[in-house]
Amino acid sequence: MSAVPSQPPAANLPRALEALSRLLGDRLSTSASVRGHHSNSVTWLESQPPDAVAFPETTEEVATLVAICAENDVPVIPFGAGTSLEGHVNAPHGGVSVSTARMTRIVAVNADDLDAVVQPGVTRGALNAHLRDLGLFFPIDPGADATIGGMTATRASGTNAVRYGTMKDAVLGLTVVLASGQIMRTGGRARKSSAGYDLTRLMVGSEGTLGVVTEITLRLHGQPEAIAAGVCPFPTLRAACDAAIMAIQSGLPAARIELLDAVQVEACNAYSKLSLKAAPTLFLEFHGTPAGVEEQSARFGEIARDLGGGPFDWATRAEDRSRLWQARHDATWAAAALRRGAKPVPTDVCVPISRLADCVEETVADIAASGLVAPIVGHVGDGNFHCLPLVRPGDAAETAACKAFIARLVSRALAMGGTSTGEHGIGQGKMDWLLPEHGGPALDAMRAIKRALDPKNIMNPGKILVP
């Protein structure tokens, strides 16, 4: 089942493929296996492969490609690492996937200005490897080794967002191929600007429905001089959430505050060979000077103690920190290992932080009542948390139960003043929630913008909204 049923291919598809083949040669593939690899592989959504996959190398090639597709009413679906979670890369109307696998050039790094220009296929891992020796780093960290293009498209964030923001904050400027095949440049290298409409932020998070991003100017940060990281158990989920709130309110500039419920802690113990107490737990990280991170760690320890939590066990050694964060990043796989033969269906919501404890507690009760296995991990500093229901593929009853659970989860978050997704995006999976979340006038405005910039609806159709 998918949000948008598959459609017959465009009548002009053969003509388009012929022209694309002339443009790209063997960098256009229509093989079943390549097409299969370029469709949704996560969540309960059915895979819907494209008619062909293109591997352009330059902005100009993408522009020609889109112009050919526009002329022939053929959909264009941008594809990065394929790690998105709501069916963003499915092709319900067929069309051409534009893989960025050959657009992996780091075009420029401007160390003095703390910025870099990259092609969209660069992964965050590759970028950070390149930056390491320059004393710089790119903080946005959604867990998977996603591409910068994909992260831009979904407005990704992750564990560092509480300190460094999300892709909305990290992107300074873009090169975008529009539905007309025109090449648009937005933003620039200045740190801030009041010159006209903020097209950069409009494109960030538009999931390829307004254009194909072909170059990204990113804001970088200097590597912190010292890093401290640690774990802190709490008697209840509420006490853990309250500790996070107090830390933020008191201005403690935590770089990461991650919540794991007891189920997830046990999963991580088993999978990552840790021996943490099976209790609601915060993973924290502080960045600063050596004296600064020591002071921050001590202060957080006091906050935890006041709430009945602790001890806060922290370290500044790189090996200890790596082991901890590797375990956090492996949380999805650790969760999956809890139930043999089942697949995790990651979903996320985000609420005002004062409602986080309520939302998590109600969700835990909901999980227990519905008989699902669904560990919880959260970017608690942002009020954003993930559930990982473990569902047996092909089991219709379980899939239905999982979908019903997600619907209740989103309703709960919206009722608390939150959002249907903090960082995964709408894709196909959450299209039905856009109206309840934003209301008619905002949805109408989004539709009007989509029609204005993509009148033929060829840019990733069937995602976010129906224009």
What part of residues 341-400 is at the interface with a second copy (CB under 8 A)?
Answer: 350-354, 382-384
246 to 265, contacts with a second copy by CB under 8 A? 248-251, 253
Site for a second copy in 257-316 (CB under 8 A): 287-289, 291-292, 295
**Residues 72-111, interacting with a second copy (CB under 8 A):** 110-111
- Closest contact distance (angstroms) between CB of 338 and a second copy is 27
Of 156, 35, 32, 139, whose CA–CA distance to 84 is shortest? 156
CA 400, CA 441: separation in Å to the nearest integer? 31
CA distances from 180 to 68, 91, 198, 251, 260 (A): 10, 20, 20, 47, 46
Element (DSSP H or E) covering residue 272: helix 262-272
Q: Which 197-226 residues touch a second copy, going by CB under 8 A?
A: 197-199, 201-202, 204-206, 210, 221-225
Beta-sheet strands, E only, within 396-463:
none
Tell which residue, 149, 180, 202, 215, has the closest CA to residue 459: 180
In the three-class reduction of DSSP (H, G, I as helix; E, B as strand; rest coil), residue 75 is classed as: coil
Question: Counting contacts by CB under 8 A, is residue 430 touching a second copy?
Answer: yes
Q: Does 442 bind a second copy (CB under 8 A)?
A: yes
Residue 176 pairs with which residues in a beta bridge? Answer: 184, 213
Strand-pair category, 313-315 with 254-260: unpaired
- Helix extents (H) in 330-377: 331-336, 356-370
> What character string, x for contact with a second copy (CB under 8 A) and - otherwise, covers 24-63?
----------------------------------------
Bond into 311 cis (ω within 30): yes
357 vs 91: CA distance, rounded Å: 38
Cβ-based nearer residue to a second copy, 3 or 161? 161
Using the rule CB under 8 A, give the single segment among 40-48, 326-334, 370-378, 417-425 that binds a second copy.
417-425
Of 277, 365, 444, 466, the residue at the interface with a second copy (CB under 8 A) is 444
**Closest CB to a second copy among residues 35, 88:** 88
Spell out, one character per residue from 136 to 165, where the chain touches a second copy: x when CB under 8 A holds, - when not.
------------------xxxx---x---x
Which of 25, 196, 371, 394 is in the footprint of a second copy by CB under 8 A?
196
Q: Judged by CB under 8 A, which of 112, 133, 275, 394 binds a second copy?
A: 112
